[in-house]
Structure 1
Amino acid sequence: MKKLIPTLSIAICLMAACQSKNTDSDAGDSTSANSKEIDQSKQCYQSIKNRDTANLSLNVEDEKVTGSLSYNLFEKDKNNGVISGIVKGDTIIADYTFQSEGTTSTRQVVWLKQNNQLVEGFGDVEEVDGKTQFKDLGKLGFGKSLIFNKIDCK
Structure 2
Amino acid sequence: MKKLTLILFLSFLVFSCKTKEEKQTEDSSPETATEIAEETPAPPLEIGCYAYDANGHKISFEITDVSEMVLGNLDYALKEKDANTGTFAGKLQDSVLIGSYTFASEGMESTREVAFLVKDGQLIEGYGELDETGTAFKNKNDLSFSSSMPLSKTDCDSEM
| Shorter-chain TM-score tier | 0.5 to 0.7
Structure 1 vs Structure 2 CA RMSD: 1.6
Instruction: Report the counterpart of residue 119 of structure 2 in structure 1.
Output: 114
Q: Distance in 2 between matches of 1:132 and 1:141?
A: 17
Instruction: Report the counterpart of residue 102 of structure 1 in structure 2.
Output: 107
Equivalent residues of 1:44, 1:153 under 8 A apart: yes
Gap runs ≥5 in structure 2: 1-45
> Which structure would you say has the larger Rg?
2
The alignment-based identity, stated in percent, is: 38
Instruction: Report the counterpart of residue 49 of structure 2 in structure 1.
Output: 44
- 1:13-70 alpha-carbon deviations (Å, 9 max, x no partner): xxxxxxxxxxxxxxxxxxxxxxxxxxxx622100123111100001233231011000
> Is the deviation greater in 119-128 or in 73-82?
119-128
Q: How many residues align?
A: 112
Equivalences for 1:1-154 in 2 at 5 Å?
42-128=47-133, 132-154=135-157
Partner of 2:79: helix, strand, or coil? Answer: coil
> Is the deviation greater in 41-50 or in 82-91?
41-50
Partner of 2:152: helix, strand, or coil? Answer: strand
In structure 2, give the amino acid aligned to 1:147.
P
TM-score (norm 1): 0.68
TM-score (norm 2): 0.65
Once the 2 structures are TM-superposed, how far is the Cα of residue 89 of structure 1 from its aligned partner?
2.6
Which structure shows the higher helix fraction? 1
